[in-house]
Amino acid sequence: MSFTITEAKRLVIKVGSSSLTTVDGGISVQALNRLVDACQKLRSRGTEIVLVSSGAIAAGLAPLRLDRRPQDLAAQQAAAAVGQGQLLAHYSRAFGHHGAEVGQVLLTVEDLIRRATYVNALRALEKLLALGVVPLINENDAVATAEIRFGDNDRLAALTANLIHADGLILLSDVDALYDGPPSAGGSPIAQVARTEDLNGVTLGPRGRAGIGTGGMVTKVEAAQIVTAHGIPARLTSAANAERLFAGEEVGTLFLPRGKRRGARSAWLAHLAHTKGRITIDHGAVSAVAERRRSLLAAGITEVTGSFEAGDVVEISSPDGEVRARGVSSFSAAEVQIMRGKKTAELAQELGEDYQRPVIHTDDMVRVEVAA
């Protein structure tokens, strides 16, 4: 299976800070203009694009007279608050030369996993695209906390691709492809990744370039794995190769899709959510939950471990300890402990009608693939 850029109707394109900045950390207007010119060639062929762009913190360094990316969170947030406006102005001017409008959408990963906010995000993005606007997405670094440190624009791009049912995810950085080892030590570029096993023995290196980016190759590969597991191909290459890539050349590394298309929330549950506990279920419940895709009822629960509250993500495991699903619990660990093994009628009689609900609804659950 191949991924033909020129035939794509909708793409999410993510560009990293290192591809847009100068040596001293400021925005490279020349690099940004080249990227926009390449993107516009895609748009002129009828391809809708959503641009996920890093660079807000880097853009804020010079105005704040900072010679390097600050280490403390408050200073990073201040740089982002100043730099985001400058970054948007650069994009607005560059796309404006082509008669295109840019619409800024600031998100955090949480915006794409909470039911109400991800629906609103989808509506906003769909309307912008329908109006011919280029959505410019960035992590909301001025208010983000832990996310700001872990290259979440790569993951944010992956979740966005799932959210809008993109035909592909393009990851642009300062490296032209994924290598099987350090290029300086004789590593070779990898043209295609079809299975997770293809990455065995591949050295991904540290996260980010010192002083500028935060993601590095690790989070780019993670982002590619998120979308491919949900039926969307990804291609990783350098921003310098964007024009060749968008013209249809086979450059960089292609990650082939492996799974079925699902939404951003399912992608988050499967790959990114931090689990707070585990619920062990009996064989009958395994069949219902994992195979027939039913909600998890209290009657099938045999054991509860960990400390979690209602709304936290937990693992669901079979009697032999194999994780079969992950989901958002409707009740706390203490409540589930009391509810386990009881039928719906018993719960209503002993605890009240509110406890008749599933412990985890099927809409709040993602099933985990089991090795053959």
pLDDT of 260 reads 75
Rounded CA-CA distance 254/189 in Å is 11
Q: Is the pLDDT of residue 185 over 80?
A: no
For residue 163, with 0-12 CB atoms within 10 Å meaning exposed, 13-18 middle and 19 or more buried, which class applies? buried
Residue 207 sits at φ, ψ, to 5 deg, of: -85, 115
Whether 77 contacts 227, CB under 8 Å = no
The predicted-structure confidence for 43-97, as pLDDT tens digits, reads as follows 999 999 999 998 888 888 888 888 888 888 888 888 888 988 999 999 999 999 9
What is the predicted pLDDT for the residue at 96? 97
User: Chain-wide mean pLDDT for the chain?
Assistant: 86
Span 278-308, pLDDT tens digits? 999 999 999 999 999 999 999 999 999 999 9
pLDDT on residue 141: 61
Domain with CATH 2.30.130.10 in the chain: 273-367
Secondary structure class of 237 (helix, strand, coil): strand
Reduce the DSSP state of residue 158 to 3 states and report it: helix
Region(s) of the chain under CATH 3.40.1160.10: 5-267
Q: What is the helix (H) or strand (E) element at residue 351, kind and residue range?
A: helix 344-351
- What's the pLDDT tens digit per position in 189-204? 999 999 888 888 787 7
**What is the per-residue DSSP string for 64-125?**
TT-SS--SSHHHHHHHHHHHHHHHHHHHHHHHHTTT--EEEEEE-GGGGTSHHHHHHHHHHH
Q: What pLDDT, on the 0 to 100 scale, is given for residue 155? A: 86
Q: What is the pLDDT of residue 140?
A: 75
Residues belonging to the binding site are 14, 54, 141, 153, 173-174, 214-220
State which fold the 273-367 domain adopts. Answer: 2.30.130
The tens digit of pLDDT for each residue in 215-265 reads: 578 889 989 998 998 899 999 999 999 999 999 899 999 999 987 777 667
CA 273 to chain centre: 11
Cβ 49 vs Cβ 43: under 8 Å: yes
pLDDT tens-digit readout, 311-354: 889 999 999 999 999 999 999 999 999 999 999 999 999 999 99
From CA 327, how far away is CA 364, in angstroms rounded? 5
Q: How far is CA 230 from the centre of its chain?
A: 12
Three-state SS at 40: helix
Q: Enter the tokens of residue 284.
A: 């009958």
**Residue that wins the pLDDT comparison between 238 and 372:** 238
- Which pTM does this prediction carry? 0.79
Question: What is the rounded end-to-end Cα distance, in angstroms, of the chain?
Answer: 23
pLDDT in tens, 343-355: 999 999 999 999 9
Angstrom distances, CA of residue 256 to CA of 229, 230, 236: 9, 11, 11
Query: Under 8 Å CB-to-CB from 274, ≥6 apart: which residues?
Result: 313
d(CA 179, CA 333): 44
Which residues are documented as binding site for substrate?
Answer: 54, 141, 153
CATH ID of 5-267, from 3.30.70.60, 3.30.70.2190, 3.40.50.12780, 3.40.1160.10: 3.40.1160.10
Q: Distance (Å, rounded) from C-alpha 52 to C-alpha 151?
A: 12
Cβ 215 vs Cβ 153: under 8 Å:
yes
Task: State the DSSP string of 277-340.
Answer: EEEEE-HHHHIIIIIS-PPBPGGGEEEEEE---TT-EEEEE-TTS-EEEEEE-SS-HHHHHHHT
Q: Which residues are known binding-site members for ATP?
A: 14, 173-174, 214-220
Q: How confident is the model at residue 210 (pLDDT cuts 50, 70, 90)?
A: very low
